Amino acid sequence: MCGILGIMGNGDVAQEIYDGLTTLQHRGQDSAGIMTFDGHFNLKKGNGLVRDVFHTKNMLRLKGNMGIGHVRYPTAGSYDAAEAQPFFVNSPFGIALIHNGNLTNYEQLKNQVIKDNIRYLNTSSDSEVLINVVANEILKLNKLKLEPKDLFRAMAKVFKRLKGSYSCIMMIADHGLVAFRDPNGIRPLVLGERHTESLVKEYVFSSESVALAGMGFNILCDVQPGEVVYIDTNRKVHHKQCVKTDWAPCIFEFVYLARPDSVLDKVSVYKTRLRMGNALAKKIKKVLLKEKLPIDVVMPVPDTARSSALAVAEELGVKYREGLIKNRYIGRTFIMPGQAIRKKSIKYKLMPIELEIRGKNILLVDDSIVRGNTCKKIIQIVREAGAKNVYFASSAPPLRNPCVYGVDMPSKKDFIANKLSIDEIAKEIGADKLFYQEIDDLIWAAHEGNKKITKFCCACMDGKYPTKEITMKRLDEMEEIRNASERPGAVESAENASDDQLTLI
């Protein structure tokens, strides 16, 4: 679920990339990187938040009117700083690439790259394999100058080799910016434009539209599934649909991953979450009438569930109150590296407002339940603050299956919904009553935003993976690989290898 950004500007773009990445920081907190081009590639990347990786001396050396930036949330590879993006190859032309997603045929591609390209891979990242696959197909063209038709021909072959999810931005030396998206459009990617006084347009690609607004760009279009968009140095935009598509964007982007002020594939995340809350409240209302459960107040688990909780309160006709205050200096626990760190962070992340809780029947609304550890701790916090009864509602249906497309969910056995019934889960997490969203209602909430999207990837909930290579056998194999290479934790630094085309900062 990384965040990616690429800009073609009229002046140095490093500062705007930095600003854009801070807007996308919610998509990855492990590492950050920026690469620009001014006749040479200039790179700075490392572990940490955007504000920690880049300093004034770095920014001053990131020259160039074309650049790409990345914030990383590891799903393939390790936490080694060497796996921070962008990645770079110096042949052909000089290509830099950033990637959001996860290649499900990584092992096969890795073996092909080593055999066909006679290239040494520095990391275990699928993104490094991906850039080498692209470079190999472009190299086969044997062109001194890359015309749009040549690039599209090479990319059509790239699409045939890749499986899984990938939204990517490439920077090709002396040519321009290229963006492409997998045939299912699982991860989002949007193109924006900005008019300038010089009448020369500037362009930006971003994982989410929210990054465009802050920089003064207007949304031009979404990069379509299976599409390649090439912006050359003359600022001409070339589009090409390279493969047949089967659109199935990730539903979890709307549940948790994306910011509420983003618009993905013309679907407002905020309005989707309001509709999720409306649908969830109607289900809750039926149970309340039947079992005569008293609810005095609806409270969100900040921050992702706020929109849904507000809609739940309005639909039920119950007060909405903020009863849990989030420490904004603690990262998103869902994307923290390792279960031990997640557990430790939860108790520092949320603090109760006892005034709003004591003696009341509380309905807590959260975005989802994965292992059950977080909501169990939250319910305990609310009870200790004096709640009379604590009910818990999830804006998402039960999560039961690992995501293989870029969200670091646990192995199948670790999902609490795979081990227990809903009543048993309620008992395990300490809730007096537990409510889950219906999957049809969740799909409806997103579909209402764009009727052209008829299918969403809900594999983490229903087990229906949109790419054909994902079978139960393949899932078992991937889980074995995951278990065999448990991450040891973040590596503070890594040696950087340079060449005469790459300026490392």
pLDDT-based confidence at 211, cuts 50/70/90?
very high
For residues 370-378, average pLDDT: 94
Superfamily of domain 3-247: Aminohydrolase, N-terminal nucleophile (Ntn) domain (3.60.20.10)
Residues 118-130 have pLDDT tens digits of 678 889 899 999 9
Task: Give the pLDDT of residue 249.
Answer: 98
Task: Give the pLDDT of residue 492.
Answer: 32
Cβ–Cβ under 8 Å, residues 268 and 476: no
Tell whether the torsion through CA atoms of 371, 373, 379 and 383 is positive or negative.
positive
239, with CB counted inside 10 A (0-12, 13-18, 19+), is middle
Distant-in-sequence, close-in-space partners of 438: CB < 8 Å, separation ≥ 6: 279, 283, 397
Comparing CA positions, the residue from 394, 390, 392, 437 lying closest to residue 282 is: 437
Residues 289-314 have pLDDT tens digits of 999 999 999 999 999 999 999 999 99
Domain residue extents for the chain: 3-247, 268-453
Third-level CATH fold of 268-453: Rossmann fold (3.40.50)
Active site residues: 2
Residues 90-109 have pLDDT tens digits of 999 999 999 999 999 999 99
Task: Give the pLDDT of residue 342.
Answer: 52
Cα separation, 418 vs 305, in Å, equals 23
Mean pLDDT in the chain? 91
Task: Give the pLDDT of residue 346.
Answer: 64
Residue 438 tokens read as: 């219906």
pLDDT-based confidence at 478, cuts 50/70/90?
confident
